[in-house]
Chain A
Amino acid sequence: KQEVTQIPAALSVPEGENLVLNCSFTDSAIYNLQWFRQDPGKGLTSLLLIQSSQREQTSGRLNASLDKSSGRSTLYIAASQPGDSATYLCAVNTGNQFYFGTGTSLTVIP
């Protein structure tokens, strides 16, 4: 069974810092990997989707990379803002199911 791990579980940074969130998975046979943002009491908002054949995707201040062979993905957030405070989840698509990590809770301090 696919296991997805996210490190760190929580992160607190001052506004303006660049930061990296990590996601690792045990089975490299994936179709794609998706990063989501979840605000308290809300559903999930898709941030970036990386196909298995891709190495990275960028959207604004966000950049996600994928190293399928080593089972790792990173989400890089540039110039963090207080509005970035949320829980960030990664999910891997194995074809039949999507497996989620437990998330990284990010707090950006003004």
Chain B
Amino acid sequence: GAGVSQTPSNKVTEKGKYVELRCDPISGHTALYWYRQSLGQGPEFLIYFQGTGAADDSGLPNDRFFAVRPEGSVSTLKIQRTERGDSAVYLCASSLLRGPGDTQYFGPGTRLTVL
């Protein structure tokens, strides 16, 4: 079956603009995660959804970042008033169930560049 997909693959924007990044998880996966990966670093947790609700958003760096998953499937990560420091690869992952035995399946990421 299809894996996790993310669109767009690349996004270039200007400082101060608003951007939306989309994640389509594997069908039937109830858990969805967003991560941010800066150059030379490992992915950094942002937010985790179980179904439609954000179960843990403690990784969001500030209130310019927001994510939704209104129907428990597709998720959108929204960044307002983008700053150059927001430039990174944004990764999405999904897993079938939220539990200790979960394996996360990652999408290819969206590379965001803020000029």
Interface of A with B (CB < 8 Å)? 4, 31-32, 34, 36, 42-46, 49, 51-52, 89, 91, 93, 95-103
Q: Which residue of B lies closest to A52 (CB)?
A: B100
Given the complex of chains A and B, what is the CA–CA distance between A99 and B44 in angstroms?
Answer: 7
* Residues in chain B near residue A43, CB distance under 8 A: 4, 91, 106-109
Asked if B48 and A97 sit within 8 Å, CB to CB, the answer is: yes
State how many angstroms separate the Cβ of A67 from the closest Cβ of chain B.
Answer: 18
Cross-interface CB contact of B104 among A34, A42, A51, cutoff 8 Å: A34
Cross-interface CB contact of B106 among A4, A44, A97, A103, cutoff 8 Å: A44
Q: Which DSSP category, helix, strand, loop or mixed, fits chain A's interface? A: strand
One of B12-20, B35-43, B60-68, B74-82 contacting the partner:
B35-43
Asked if A89 and B42 sit within 8 Å, CB to CB, the answer is: yes
Given the complex of chains A and B, what is the CA–CA distance between A98 and B104 in angstroms?
Answer: 10
Residues of B14-57 at the interface with A, using a CB-CB cut-off of 8 Å, are 33, 35, 40-45, 48, 55-56
Asked if B41 and A102 sit within 8 Å, CB to CB, the answer is: yes
* Residues in chain A near residue B59, CB distance under 8 A: 97
